[in-house]
Amino acid sequence: MAGYIIQVKDLVSKYGQKVVHRGLNLGIKEGELYAIVGGSGAGKSTLLKTLLLLKKADGGKILFKGKDISNLSEKEIEDIKKRIGVMFQFSTMLSSLTVGQNIIYVIKKRYSIDYKTALDMAKLKLKLVGLSMDTFYMYPSELSGGMKKKAALAVAMSTDPDILFLDEPTSGLDPISAEEFDKLVRTLVDTTGTTIVQITHDLGSLMFVDTVAVISKGLVVYEGNPQDLTNVNDDWIQSLTNTTRFRRLLDGK
């Protein structure tokens, strides 16, 4: 049975006097596709920042592969950061570089790997996310929304991270492209064994994940199979599962 890659225990996050998380707990297992959902202002973005080690926790523990990150040295933290990949909401890449150059840049900067290997890796990663080799020479501004998401995914996966965070990966995509992207993410988890965590608003994406965590009022109110969401006794989850869109998705209509 796979162990936990990340465990969050009694996390407290604050912005000044405002408390965002009040003892939040969750556990992400190695090799699973995990989704974090919640209403606007529930604290999803703050949680993402904390998990990306961009924001320090104000209380509680974050364990990365069983190690409490608050006890680690700066060097160890940097090593952990190298094992984390992220695709931001707006598919952020360096706009002055082509997609291929973006991938090569990340590989060389993170691991000082020779150019030939980095170039071959860039080609493999583009193939992996289903982009044509023409994309290698294209700048991010020249890509359509769906292509840009895939290119950003290729950049995020360029150094084979242990865990990959996708922030609102299907936002701005049409339903067909969104489903195509969801399927791609599912395939990547199944084939490469990478742990992928999605922060999402897209109910459609939930149908592809192994585990969903619902954040409400600064706590994880549900963590488990998305199919069982309907049985959970929580106001926000009830509101979510009573939406027509969710019902239709669940019924496969």
Partner 1 sequence: MFLYIENNVLYLKGYWTVENFKDIKKQLTDLKNNSFDYVDASQLEKLDFYGGYLINQYLKDFDIKNIQDKNMEILRLSKDIPNLPPKKSNIFLELIEGFYQKLTDYVAFVSFTGEVLINSLRRVKDLEARNLFKELEETALKSLGIITVLSFLIGVVIAYQSSAMLATFGANIFIVDLVSISLARELSPLIVGIIVAGRSASSFTAEIGLMKVSEEIDFLKTLGISPYSTIVLPKLLTLIVWLPILITYSTILGILGAMIVSDITLGIPPNQFFQRLAETLSFDHYLAGVVKGPVFGIAIGLIGVYEGFKVQQKAESIGFSVTKSVVRGIFAIILIDAIFSVIYRWLDI
Helix and strand numbers, DSSP H then E, in the chain: 9, 10
Least distance in angstroms from the C-beta of 123 to partner 1: 5
In the complex, what is the shortest distance from the CB of residue 191 to partner 1, in angstroms, rounded to a whole number? 5
Binding residues (CB under 8 A) for partner 1: these are 82, 95, 100, 111, 113, 117, 120-121, 123-128, 133-134, 136-137, 140-141, 159-160, 191-193
The DSSP call for residue 194 is -
Q: Which is nearer to partner 1, 125 or 149 (CB)?
A: 125
Cβ distance to partner 1 smaller for residue 151 or 213: 151
Q: Which two tokens stand for residue 245?
A: 């869109």
CB of 78 to partner 1, least distance (A): 12
CA 131, 133, 134, 135 torsion: positive or negative?
positive
Bridge-based pairing state of the strands 4-15 and 18-29:
antiparallel
Shortest distance in whole angstroms from residue 117 CB to partner 1: 7
- Phi, psi angle pair for 12, to nearest 5°: -120, 125
Helices (H), 52-98: 74-82
The SS3 assignment for 201 reads: coil
Any alpha helices (H) in 129-229, and if so which ranges? 145-156, 175-192, 203-206
d(CA 171, CA 233) in angstroms, rounded, equals 28
Is the Cβ of residue 54 or residue 133 nearer to partner 1 in the bound state? Answer: 133
**What is the spatial distance between Cα 231 and Cα 246, in angstroms, rounded to a whole number?**
13
Record the tokens describing residue 49, joined without a space.
């920042």
Residue with Cβ nearer partner 1 (53 or 250): 53
For the bound state, the minimum distance from the C-beta of residue 137 to partner 1, rounded and expressed in Å, comes to: 7
- Nearest approach in angstroms of CB 188 to partner 1 is 10
Please identify, using beta-carbon distances, which residue of 54 and 124 lies nearer to partner 1. Answer: 124
Nearer to partner 1, 160 or 223 (CB): 160
